[in-house]
Homo-oligomer: A and B are copies of this chain.
Amino acid sequence: MKLFVLRLGHRISRDHRISTHCGLVARALGADGIVYSGDHDQSVLESVSRVSEQWGGKFEAKYEKSWKKAVNAYKKKGYTVVHLTMYGMPVQKTIAKVKRKNKLLVVVGGEKVPWEMYDLADFNVSVTSQPHSEIAALALFLDRVFGGKELDRKFVKAKKVVVPQARGKKIIGK
């Protein structure tokens, strides 16, 4: 499966950490890349790219000013658009249908999601109907899509690799 994430409406400085977390979670949990829309923020792109460089894998972080242009471009390439929102249909009820697709664009919102996004999405999907975090919603959604297998994923060409320990820290590489 090909899977990209689109982060809507990034705002410079205010959203730096949340948007960076979205990118790192997308990478760690098996997405192929993330597209940021909203403000152009080189520092977020660099934070995410730096992690990819050190920790391996093929993950793209890119910018597209217009979220709508990004959505339509992916649609044209045959991607199914899943918009994560607390107002959508429960993930546990929609995941079977979504998993059958082989190209997904997963959209995660910022503070204000434009009304049109709900219409452009093929699926509006909720991870609980409670207010919480786009980072957590993205993590649980990816875990459901990949059926937990993303946790065993290897990252090619990693300069740094953690060796899991019951106590303490062990990193191979530099």
Contact = CB atoms under 8 A, between A and B. Distances in A.
Given A18-B17, A136-B29, A139-B140, A129 B166 contact: no
B87 A24 contact: no
A89 B164 contact: yes
Contacts of A155: 130
Nearest to A24: B132
Main secondary structure of the interface of A (DSSP, over half): mixed
B87 A124 contact: no
Nearest to A15: B17
Question: How many interface residues does chain A have, given as a range?
Answer: 35 or more
Interface of A: 17-18, 21, 24-25, 27-29, 51, 55, 86-92, 118-119, 123-124, 126-133, 135-140, 143, 148, 150-153, 155, 161-162, 164-171
